[in-house]
Amino acid sequence: MTDTPRDRLRELLDAVLDEDNRTLADMADDAYASPYHFNRTLSRAAGEAPVAMRRRVMLERAAWQLRGGATVTEAAWAAGYESVEGFSRAFTRAFGHPPSTPAESHWLPAPNGIHFHPPMSLWVHTKEQPMDPLTGQLLEHDLDDTRDLIEVAKGLGEAAFRQPRLPGLTVLDWDGPEESVAAVLEHQVRSKEVWVAAIEGADCPGHEPDPDAAALLDRHDAVAPRWLAAVRDIDRRNAWDDRLIDALCDPPESFVVSAVVAHVLTYAAHRRQLARQMLVAAGAPIARDGGDPINWLRARRGEEAGT
């Protein structure tokens, strides 16, 4: 018998990372606790729900494996994903680039400094400053909901996609009319393309002003990880009060960085609801949850539990 005190937190973390524990119920059973008690205890102690922690650490391990020469398929299966597509979406959303592009670091922002350390252990980084969970959820919900709306719009015919639904509608004067599903969703994507270019100091991006829904989805998928990465970098550097001199404006204009992000999220939420209203009017099979972030988070956590 040993006199070494029991490390209950370590036991809970071991249950999270065990290769055989894919769901919250599996983890709780391995830790001899109810799912409710397991989730509550670990969330309080580590500041992160167990399913979310497992998903993040598995993605960190996947990034390390990819840097070591593993294929995307191998990393996806090892991380517990049922499809390469699902893994690629999760990886891109987390790291800001697809798994085919090597990550500079395999660590992701963590509320507790707990990270994957090869070959299969943990490292606790004590000085980490994670992104505020609310900001992260607002960003990711906006991108996911926008993508879902464009996917629905792909099912419309060209005439229905471009038909004026709200004649005379203008969201922002400098953007012009947004009377159709096509116009609202194009401006939704275009807004992030322009602001990311301003933050990165790049030239104003060219674009097809009248794209079909498939082309618009490609543009969204290209800008989404760049937007996430840009805001995460702002947060990491605590640069929210910095000023951006936007040379893309004529004449150049100064903006507080936090106001830029708030601006994008505010009008993105407005346009998503406009697009949803227009899609309903077009008879599209649109979800009835109204784009509610509560339902989005519940569904996402359910998907994570299945990974």
The answer to whether residue 66 scores a pLDDT higher than 70 is: yes
Percent of the chain with pLDDT over 90: 29
Cβ pair 191, 263 in contact under 8 A: no
90 is written with which tokens? 């999760």
Q: Which residue has the higher pLDDT, 14 or 285?
A: 285
Q: Which of 54-58, 75-79, 104-108, 175-179 has the lowest mean pLDDT?
A: 104-108
Q: Where do you find CATH 1.20.120.450 in the chain?
A: 133-306
Residues 182-196: tens digit of each pLDDT = 999 999 999 999 898
Q: How confident is the model at residue 48 (pLDDT cuts 50, 70, 90)?
A: confident
- pLDDT over 50 (residue 264): yes
Please tell me the least confidently modeled range out of 71-80, 200-209, 245-254.
245-254
User: Distance from CA of residue 84 to its chain's centroid?
Assistant: 17
pLDDT recorded at residue 124 = 60
Nearest C-alpha neighbor of 94 from the set 306, 305, 300:
300
pTM, two decimals, is 0.61
- Could you tell me the CATH superfamily of domain 8-124? Homeodomain-like (1.10.10.60)
DSSP 242-253: -EEEETTSSS-E
Domain 133-306 of CATH type 1.20.120.450: yes
Structure confidence at residue 5 (pLDDT): 45
Q: Which residues make up the CATH 1.10.10.60 domain(s) of the chain?
A: 8-124
Question: pLDDT class for 72, splitting at 50, 70, 90?
Answer: very high
